Structure 1
């Protein structure tokens, strides 16, 4: 990656962070709350974790998924990562499971964690915002433990489509494209599951564990 590309990426991520900073105070409006609650409830029915477990919520927003995971798994230790300082502020203010849950600022393309740190990584309605999805898959593969799982829940279309919504736009990937991202970094697809219309959960694990 050239110096100019690095600067362009830094500017884009800064714009995205500012976009979600402005949204953060009102992010948990009633409609959004109902939407995410439905997704999370369906997602949790597919989740099994070792005891105890270390999990990461990538693009954690206001922390609602980690809160629900902590309620279901009493010995879970969770970390939430987000670009937006204001989203993280909301998550910390609403954190009922400190110190089991912590929230930190980070970039999905360069995660501040060691290899093989997490038993599970969750990414819910966030993947569509990432400008370099293959790099994100590579980072997830790096930080997953050999028996770990990556739970990716997002909108999907029949073919990849892009639209202007936030800085840099958003991209929708079908299940075949998700599998290709995974295969490139040594992750195997365990299955795809419909959570809501056009919202599909894909579960991946390291190839060596299957």
Structure 2
């Protein structure tokens, strides 16, 4: 395996997978999930995607909160997906798949909502990821992006060195990236510490008469 950033992070998350839910970051993420739900609006029978799902904690919480919810969780780490499947309490409604955020293994316009929690900072091509999110969202659907945020920067802020580098985005930069992918900004909300939720929507397709 090469020493490129994606491979380094893949090895890291594969090693973490079996104990991930017992580590401090997971506890922190669960608190973020709880706050996130205060801003989530879904239809009566929602179909959702959790991008960068890890061990499936957010989908588990969503399935418990919305009894008619169906969903797919996608993560780049096969070990994270293995753990999610092992712990899945809602296997009749939730499916987990291994895949890349830049090339999602799902058809167009499938989901009422896409979630991405503390994962966006790892992506080397955020434009490609947002283009995929826009592709798989149904018209009128929402994208919930919760991640650490640089408050005022007009450019992505890089931290660390390769292969472990991460990128933080201010609300202004997030809005520009979303707009380029055809997603409109619906606002930003502080969830916990420096973690900010940015909500985007995909416009409805207007149907005109002939």
Q: Give distance in 1, aligned partners of 2:96 and 2:161.
A: 26
Question: Once the 2 structures are TM-superposed, how far is the Cα of residue 34 of structure 1 from its aligned partner?
Answer: 2.6
1:207 alignment partner, SS class? coil
Maintained 8 Å contact 1:16/1:166: no
Q: Report the secondary structure of 1:102's partner residue.
A: strand
Q: Indicate which of 95, 99, 108 corresponds to 1:106.
A: 99
- The 2-side partners of 1:191 and 1:56 are apart by 20
Please tell me whether the aligned partners of residues 19 and 166 of structure 1 are also in contact (alpha carbons under 8 angstroms). Answer: no
Calculate the TM-score normalised by the size of structure 2. 0.90
Partner of 1:23: 16
Cα drift, residue 15 of structure 1: 3.2
- d(CA) in 1 for partners of 2:134, 2:10: 24
What do the CA deviations read for 1:161-189 (whole angstroms, capped 9, x no partner)? 21227735110000000000011111100
State the 1:60 CA deviation: 0.2
CA distance in 2, matches of 1:164, 1:25: 25
Relative to the length of structure 1, the TM-score reads 0.90
1:169 and 2:162 correspond: no
1:186 corresponds to 2:182: yes
Aligned-partner Cα distance in 1 for 2:191–2:30 = 11
Deviation string 1:88-125 (CA, Å, 9 cap, x unpaired) is: 11111110001211110010000111110100000000
The number of aligned residues is 202
**Kept after mapping to 1: 8 A contact 2:102/2:125:** yes
Measured after TM superposition, the shift of residue 13 of structure 1 is 3.0
Task: Give the Cα separation in 1 of the matches to 2:96 and 2:74.
Answer: 6
Measured on the aligned residues, the alpha-carbon RMSD in Å equals 1.9
* SS across alignment from 1:167: coil
Secondary structure of the residue that 1:28 maps to in structure 2? helix
Which residue in 2 is equivalent to 1:205?
A: 201
Unpaired stretches in structure 2, ≥5 consecutive residues: none
- Do structure 1's residue 90 and structure 2's residue 83 form an aligned pair? yes
